[in-house]
């Protein structure tokens, strides 16, 4: 015989002990340290958005960009609690442990890397939903994967000194973007490419074989990299003050994140004057999706440079950022998930109340980044809902050489 | 004792009960842990004031239930993404005992309640709070507690007719 309260007690017996005390203390401390800013642009008070200190600011007085048509709603925050690392499988007979070239599409479906058969031939390997496949020979001179599209097309480029790039489609077809010194930087699911030609001139290509079409850039500004293009054709990249035509992708002076709505003129993305009392000196933008662009706000200079992962809502021009600066590469996706690297090289996935420390595969000697200049974990892709992350684990081999492992972190 | 130590001591002494309530409110381990963490973060961030206020238990209850009601809105879709994460225990291999059957029926029926109705059920039948205290915890009127309790029980009876005789209005004397 049981009554409702006895049955409920029975259900309650199935609970585990959820000891979240220490996590609560850490996150509570961050919440306490959150600074609330108000009155930017002369509008109402700012609202703290998340426990990691994200703030929503109204737009600056300058006009915000037009809302992109029909943005997909951002995937809401999910309650993730842990991430487990596993190594991406390689095609038989190939290895990639000496190569750092790695990238993936923002959806998390495709990843790409350089691999070798150990007999002098290199290949472009692409994973589709976790399964690796040799797509083509690795183009001679390519040293970097600039972008991977959500349909599996890979943009490769040569070193900084050489203006050269390749577009490798999923079927292995390899082309070069048209135009002198053309370099593709970003590609959307329709195959539209954004990049530059010689002279740092910002261009789009309708597809891998089309002629480049220039995008307008304000007088006295020079386009930088990276750049991204959304499925509706909205482009984001960084513009530097000054004209630098002789050398590709030079980064001098302050640069600012800009957006080009489809067919529209460039508009600077809003930013606060200061974070924690330190002037914001620069902004960069890396990705665009679901009506949001993501990048970093940068304060300080020299050794005091602090990049704060940030994102902009393109429809309203609002910007929000994490109160915690990043020591790493500024990995943040348009959905608001960021990967923060601390001074001691620990790497943490954060969003809202979630803060999950990422670890690599056990048994591999980590190399401190102040020795190698390379973090032990380099996350390059955070999927839209952060259930899948991709990147490299860098460790030390038998002869103290750097060994790169391609990892997927599965978070739940 | 530092603030952090005081917070630890406070939470550890209540962790079992808090875990049970969080689980009863949410119905799965993931959500229960999230709920408890979110509530405790809010408490931790202002612990010195909360503890100085002299009624940390009442404050924590208020935060926990409020967090549940608001978090539920945000994560309702999410719960559907973990349909098989925690299958009912003892569901195969042998006949389930009658008590287990009732418990599973009740779990299924609870999942059909609104977040507020479920909160009211936990406050009244698990925490054994009076209508006035339940109203204070949820920040609603006593009348709302009465009506939500009534709606919730009616819904439970509809969803699980087998539990009909078990699902009765709580006696205010319990308070």
Question: What does the pLDDT look like over A127-138, one tens digit per residue?
Answer: 999 999 999 999
Minimal Cα–Cα distance from B133 to chain A, Å?
Answer: 18
- pLDDT tens profile A178-194: 999 999 999 999 999 99
Q: Which of A246, A300, A310, A253 is nearest to A277 (CA)?
A: A300
- pLDDT tier for residue A1 given thresholds of 50, 70 and 90: very low
Residue B101's pLDDT is what?
73
Residue A229's pLDDT is what?
97
Joined together, the tokens standing for residue A383 give 């999927």
Joined together, the tokens standing for residue A240 give 């530097």
Which value, in Å, is the radius of gyration of the alpha carbons in chain A? 22
- pLDDT tens profile B37-66: 889 988 998 898 888 888 889 899 999 998
User: A383: Cβ–Cβ under 8 A, 6 or more apart, which residues?
Assistant: A106, A107, A108, A333, A389
Helix (H) or strand (E) holding A226: strand A221-229
ipTM given for this complex: 0.81
- In angstroms, the CA B114 to CA B116 distance is 5
CB-CB contact of A361 with A405 (8 Å): yes
Residue A178's pLDDT is what?
95
- In angstroms, the CA A244 to CA A248 distance is 8
Burial tier of B114 (Cβ tally within 10 Å: 0-12, 13-18, 19+): middle
pLDDT, mean of residues A163-191? 95
Q: Please provide residue A150's backbone torsions phi and psi, each rounded to the nearest 5 degrees.
A: -75, 0
- pLDDT tens profile A249-262: 545 557 899 999 99
For chain B, the average pLDDT equals 76
Residue with tokens 């689980």: B23
- pLDDT tens profile A42-84: 212 222 233 233 333 222 223 333 333 223 333 444 578 999 9
Burial tier of B28 (Cβ tally within 10 Å: 0-12, 13-18, 19+): middle
Tell me, what DSSP letter sits at residue A9? H
Minimal Cα–Cα distance from A114 to chain B, Å?
Answer: 35
Burial A165-200 (b: 16+ CB within 10 A, else e): bbbbbbeeebeebebebbbbbbbbeebbbbbbbebb
Secondary structure of residue A200 in the 3-state scheme: coil
Residue with tokens 């709302």: B144
Residue A23's pLDDT is what?
81
Q: Which of A164, A370, A16, A349 is nearest to B36 (CA)?
A: A16
- pLDDT tens profile B133-165: 899 898 888 898 998 898 888 888 887 777 765
Chain B's closest residue to A7, CA to CA, is B103
Helix (H) or strand (E) holding B63: helix B56-79
Angle at B85 between CA B82 and CA B86, to 5 degrees: 125
Binary contact (A29, B45; C-beta < 8 A): yes
Residue A135's pLDDT is what?
97
Minimal Cα–Cα distance from A384 to chain B, Å?
Answer: 14
Tell me, what DSSP letter sits at residue A366? B
Angle at A66 between CA A63 and CA A69, to 5 degrees: 170
Joined together, the tokens standing for residue A109 give 């479906």
For chain A, the average pLDDT equals 82
Residues of chain A in contact with residue B169, where contact means CB-CB under 8 angstroms, are: none
Q: Which of B121, B117, B134, B113 is nearest to B62 (CA)?
A: B134
- pLDDT tier for residue A369 given thresholds of 50, 70 and 90: low
Q: What own/partner pairs with CB < 8 Å and gap ≥ 24 does B103-107 have?
A: B103/A7, B103/A10, B103/A11, B105/B160, B105/B162, B105/B163, B106/A4, B106/A7, B106/A8, B106/A11, B106/B156, B106/B160, B106/B163, B107/A11, B107/B27
Query: How many Cβ pairs within 8 Å bridge chains A and B?
Result: 132
Q: Is the per-residue pLDDT at A159 higher than 60?
A: yes
pLDDT, mean of residues A222-240? 93
Q: Which of A73, A149, A35 is nearest to A313 (CA)?
A: A73
Chain B's closest residue to A10, CA to CA, is B103
- In angstroms, the CA B144 to CA B150 distance is 10
Residues of chain A in contact with residue B23, where contact means CB-CB under 8 angstroms, are: 11-12, 14-16
User: A397: Cβ–Cβ under 8 A, 6 or more apart, which residues?
Assistant: A97, A403
Range from A1-10, A153-162, B37-46 that averages highest in pLDDT: B37-46
């Amino acid at each position: 015989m049981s009554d409702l309260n006895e049955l409920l007690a029975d259900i309650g017996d199935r609970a585990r002990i959820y000891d979240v005390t220490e996590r609560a203390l850490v996150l509570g401390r961050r919440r306490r340290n959150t600074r609330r800013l108000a009155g930017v642009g002369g509008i109402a008070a700012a609202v703290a958005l998340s426990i990691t200190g994200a703030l929503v600011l109204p737009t600056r007085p300058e006009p915000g960009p037009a809302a992109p048509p029909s943005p997909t709603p951002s995937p809401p925050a999910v309650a993730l609690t842990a991430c487990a690392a596993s190594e991406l499988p390689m095609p038989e007979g190939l290895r990639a442990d000496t190569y750092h070239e790695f990238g993936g599409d923002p959806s998390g479906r495709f990843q790409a890397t350089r691999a070798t058969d150990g007999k002098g031939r290199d290949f472009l390997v692409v994973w589709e939903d976790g399964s690796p496949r040799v797509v083509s020979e690795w183009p001679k001179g390519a040293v970097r994967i600039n972008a991977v599209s959500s349909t599996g097309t890979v943009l490769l480029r040569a070193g900084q000194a050489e203006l050269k790039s390749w577009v490798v489609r999923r079927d292995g077809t390899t082309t070069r973007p048209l135009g002198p010194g053309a370099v593709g930087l970003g590609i959307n699911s329709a195959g539209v490419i954004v990049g530059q030609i010689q002279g740092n001139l910002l261009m789009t290509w309708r597809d891998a074989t089309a002629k480049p079409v220039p995008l307008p850039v304000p007088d006295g500004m020079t386009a930088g990299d990276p750049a991204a293009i959304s499925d509706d054709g909205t482009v984001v990249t960084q513009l530097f003050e000054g004209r630098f035509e002789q050398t590709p992708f030079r980064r001098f002076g302050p640069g600012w994140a800009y957006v080009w709505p489809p067919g529209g003129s460039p508009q600077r993305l809003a930013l606060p004057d200061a974070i924690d009392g330190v002037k914001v000196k620069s902004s960069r933008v890396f990705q665009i999706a679901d009506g949001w662009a993501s990048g970093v706000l940068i304060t300080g200079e020299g050794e005091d440079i602090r990049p704060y992962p940030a994102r902009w809502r393109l429809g309203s021009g609002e910007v929000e950022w994490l109160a915690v600066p990043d020591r790493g590469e500024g990995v943040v996706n348009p959905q608001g998930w960021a990967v923060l690297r601390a001074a001691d090289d620990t790497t943490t996935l954060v969003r809202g109340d979630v803060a999950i420390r990422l670890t690599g595969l056990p048994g591999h000697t980590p190399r401190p980044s102040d020795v190698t200049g390379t973090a032990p974990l380099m996350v390059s892709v955070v999927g839209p809902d952060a259930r899948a992350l991709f990147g490299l684990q860098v460790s030390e081999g038998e002869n103290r050489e750097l060994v790169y492992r391609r990892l997927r972190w599965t978070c739940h | 004792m530092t603030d952090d130590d005081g917070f630890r001591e406070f939470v550890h002494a209540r962790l079992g009960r808090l875990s049970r309530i969080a689980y009863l409110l949410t119905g799965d381990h993931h959500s229960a842990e999230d709920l408890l963490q979110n509530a405790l973060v809010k408490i931790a961030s202002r612990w010195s004031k909360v503890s100085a206020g002299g009624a940390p238990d009442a404050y924590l209850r208020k935060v926990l239930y409020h967090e549940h009601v608001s978090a539920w809105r945000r994560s309702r879709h999410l719960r559907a993404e973990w349909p098989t994460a925690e299958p009912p225990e003892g569901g195969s291999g042998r006949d389930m005992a009658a008590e287990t059957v009732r418990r599973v029926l009740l779990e299924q029926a609870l999942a059909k309640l609104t977040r507020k109705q479920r909160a009211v059920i936990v406050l009244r039948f698990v925490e054994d709070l009076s209508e006035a205290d339940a109203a204070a915890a949820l920040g609603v009127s006593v009348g709302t507690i009465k009506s939500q309790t009534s709606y919730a029980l009616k819904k439970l009876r509809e969803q699980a007719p087998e539990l009909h005789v078990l699902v009765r209005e709580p006696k205010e004397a319990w308070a």
